[in-house]
Structure 1
Amino acid sequence: MLAQRTNLFGSSGTAAARAAAKAAADAGKEIIDLTAGEIWSDLAPTIRDGAIEAINKGINRYTDTIGMIELRDALARKVSLDTGHVWKAEEVAVTTGAKQALFNAAMVLLNPGEEIIIPAPYWTTFPAQVQIAGGTPIFVDTRSNGHVPRIASIKAAVTDRTRAIVINTPSNPTGAVYDVQTLMGIAELAINHNLWIIFDECYGDFVHGHQAHHPIVSVVPEVRSRTVMVNAFSKCLALTGWRIGYLAGPKEVINAVKSLQSHTTSNPNVIAQHAVLAHLQRGDGSYESTLRSQLASARQIGLNVLSSLARIPVPAAQGGFYFYLDLSDLLRPTSGKAVSTNADDIVNSLLSEAGVATVSGTAFGDPLGLRLSYGVPADKLEAGLRRLVELLNAWE
């Protein structure tokens, strides 16, 4: 009796992994949870103070559908600084997290039957939202190229039905950071084939080593008129539960998003809006710097432990806060013995035998991958990874 569209998607694979971890913990097992895409951290003082001030002022009314003009002005200044190009409030919409920003983009850009190219492994929500909008996700495998798509592969996927290309850099789940040449190639393809670019940079604050994050409109300014940029404060300010995101793009896109959002959520949470505005006005960057240092330290701890893996390469972990393991060699049959066929079996064994919760690559279109978050406290991370290494090195 349900609508047919409900057959197109299931629940989020990452959400399902979190639920499995919680169920095991509720059953009395000691679980180290490495599933969640969030950072364990206290609130930024500016966020806390901004929220409390708004509550004390009795603020409880609707704002503009796509966010307070003061917040959109501040976000326009932020995007201008990030990209090196001037943006205005009328080119910015505030949303209930980046998920809604992406959903809005899919709904206002995609016609039924059209295709969107998505590099794989992909964040589980990308194809689901395309399907909800009536479109078809077309996957381009990146596993043989360090999880960055080859331009030739993207070009080969373009048809007369292609409407857009999704870029997610740094990538969830792989942590891959797109280089300038790749971004230039994608921009050229979009221009030549009249395609939209949906540019998800939610992890842009977290790049490691010699890597650098580049907004595509900074690399090729000519694509600005065909690019929708998606970002949020969930990661960079450790505010996953507050649900504040935004998108920046051409004015006609923002106007369409406003109309759509007026019939879905209306305005984002007003207290969260005031909190983020206070941070944008008063923040000095120290909180973000501390968060980056925390993740850099956790990343190094994790890489040190994972270097003991016998049959799994140490992940590059270029950006974001995930280790993405390639289980290909581990799952390859040896000595005629029966072995697991995909990462789901590894995930189940880690949870039941080692008490470590992880996310199977099957959630991301990759049956041979495994995602581990290092946004957790350092002691839990090290303990969990040591358990993981012990189990995987003994795997037969």
Structure 2
Amino acid sequence: MLAQRTSLFKSSGTAAARAAAKAAADAGREIVDLTAGEIWADLAPTVRDGALAAIHHGVNRYTDTLGLADLREVLARKVSRETNQLWQAAEIAVTGGAKQALFNAAMVLIDPGDEVIIPAPYWTTFPAQVLVAGGVPVHVDTRDNGHVPTIEAIERALTPRTRAIVINTPANPSGAVYGRDILGAIAGIAQARNLWVIFDECYGAFVHPPHAHHAIVSVAPEVRSRTVIVNAFSKTLALTGWRIGYMAAPKPVIEAVKALQSHTTSNPNVIAQHAVLNHLRYGDGAYEARLRQQLATARRQGLNILSGLTALPQPDAQGGFYFYLDLSALLQGGSETADDVVNALLAEAGVATVSGTAFGDPTGLRLSYGLPADMLDKGLTRLVETLSRWGTRPVRTARIA
């Protein structure tokens, strides 16, 4: 009875993990939730003030489909600073979060049958949206190279049908940060093969030394005419629930996005637009600095606790705010997958995590460290104790039905 396209995808694996954690908590259990891709933090005062001012002034009307003109101007200047390239407001679209920006890009760039290269493990939305657009996700395994693809692997994945490549740095779920060399090489392939680059940098504000975030168009300016940059305020301003993001792309792409968005959501939430605009105008960077310090402290705390997992490799956690564990040694090549570990941790330890199967990796486990320090300590301590207690026993013996 449903449209055939609904068989191409299922609900987000990360959303399913959050739902499982909530169900366990609703049943009366004490659950430490390490699933959410968000930072627990208060609103930036400038965001709050901008939203309240808009409400007090009775702001409740449509904006332009692509967002407030003033906001697009400010975002153009922001992207110009960050990329060392000049961007105009006509090259900016404000969207209902990064997911809508990515959906817009998929719908205006990908024809049925087009192939899109996606490094794996990947954020689950990337292949889902390619499928919705009628495209074919082509996954490049990065697990043997620090979760960054090699040029050789990308070249092997190329076919005459290849249309685009998705780059997510810092990467979700792995936290891997792409260096200048690999970005330049990918840009070279895009130029030579006439490919689009969909460049998701939503975690770019959170990169841990000695690593650094680089925009691909600053590394290789010549690829700008073939690049769509996707970003959002969900992470950088801890505004996941406000659904406000943006994309920067060549003007013809933005014009196509405007036509598409006019028939889907129309303009993004007007109060959120005014709130972010006020922050971009009057914020002094102190709030962002506090978030970075909060995450840096949580990362040190978490890595210290996870060092107790002597049988598993220590996660790199180069950027973003996730620890991504390689469970291969625990699973020992048997029939069990990370799904079994997730189920067992929830049942036995009261710790909710996200299985790597959601990201195309049956041996991975994602843990968020964006939550408060006391909860992070409790959750990771329980996890380490439980996994260490299992030792070399098959995971299924640790499961509780």
Using structure 1 for the length normalisation, give the TM-score: 0.98
Distance 1:155 1:226 in 2: 18
Find the counterpart in structure 1 of residue 368 from structure 2. Answer: 373
Find the counterpart in structure 2 of residue 127 from structure 1. Answer: 127
Q: Aligned-pair distance for 1:134?
A: 0.3
| AA aligned opposite 1:356 | V
Find the counterpart in structure 2 of residue 160 from structure 1. Answer: 160
Contact 1:340 1:346 in 2 (8 A): no
Find the counterpart in structure 2 of residue 360 from structure 1. Answer: 355
Find the counterpart in structure 1 of residue 144 from structure 2. Answer: 144
SS of the residue corresponding to residue 344 of structure 2 reads helix
2:343 to 322, 339, 348: 348
Find the counterpart in structure 1 of residue 230 from structure 2. Answer: 230
| AA aligned opposite 2:178 | Y
Q: Which runs of 5+ in 1 are unaligned?
A: 334-338
| AA aligned opposite 1:214 | H
- 1:325 paired with 2:325, answer yes
Q: How does 1:132-211 map to 2 (within 5 A)?
A: 132-211=132-211
Identity %: 73
Find the counterpart in structure 2 of residue 77 from structure 1. Answer: 77
Distance 2:347 2:121 in 1: 26
Q: How does 1:29-68 map to 2 (within 5 A)?
A: 29-68=29-68
Distance 2:86 2:281 in 1: 18
- 1:88 paired with 2:88, answer yes
Q: How does 1:1-12 map to 2 (within 5 A)?
A: 1-12=1-12
Distance 1:209 1:389 in 2: 26
Q: Aligned-pair distance for 1:13?
A: 0.1
Distance 1:20 1:311 in 2: 27
2:382 to 351, 363, 387: 387
Contact 1:35 1:358 in 2 (8 A): yes
Find the counterpart in structure 2 of residue 112 from structure 1. Answer: 112
Find the counterpart in structure 1 of residue 294 from structure 2. Answer: 294
- 1:103 paired with 2:103, answer yes
Q: Aligned-pair distance for 1:85?
A: 1.0
Contact 1:80 1:86 in 2 (8 A): yes
Distance 1:393 1:314 in 2: 14
Deviations 1:111-152 (Å, cap 9, x if unpaired)? 000000000000000000000000000000000000000011
SS of the residue corresponding to residue 230 of structure 1 reads strand
Deviations 1:146-185 (Å, cap 9, x if unpaired)? 0000011001101000000000000000000001100011
Q: Aligned-pair distance for 1:310?
A: 2.4
Find the counterpart in structure 1 of residue 278 from structure 2. Answer: 278
| AA aligned opposite 1:387 | R
Deviations 1:257-312 (Å, cap 9, x if unpaired)? 00000000000000000000000000000000000000000000000000010211
Deviations 1:231-280 (Å, cap 9, x if unpaired)? 00000000000000000010000000000000000000000000000000
| AA aligned opposite 2:44 | A
Distance 1:384 1:104 in 2: 37
Find the counterpart in structure 2 of residue 336 from structure 1. Answer: none
Find the counterpart in structure 1 of residue 247 from structure 2. Answer: 247
Distance 2:311 2:109 in 1: 44
Distance 2:134 2:68 in 1: 31
SS of the residue corresponding to residue 330 of structure 1 reads helix
SS of the residue corresponding to residue 37 of structure 1 reads coil
SS of the residue corresponding to residue 328 of structure 2 reads coil
Distance 1:83 1:142 in 2: 26
Using structure 2 for the length normalisation, give the TM-score: 0.97
Distance 1:205 1:267 in 2: 26
SS of the residue corresponding to residue 212 of structure 2 reads coil
Find the counterpart in structure 1 of residue 260 from structure 2. Answer: 260
SS of the residue corresponding to residue 134 of structure 1 reads coil
Find the counterpart in structure 2 of residue 308 from structure 1. Answer: 308
SS of the residue corresponding to residue 59 of structure 2 reads coil
Contact 1:34 1:358 in 2 (8 A): yes
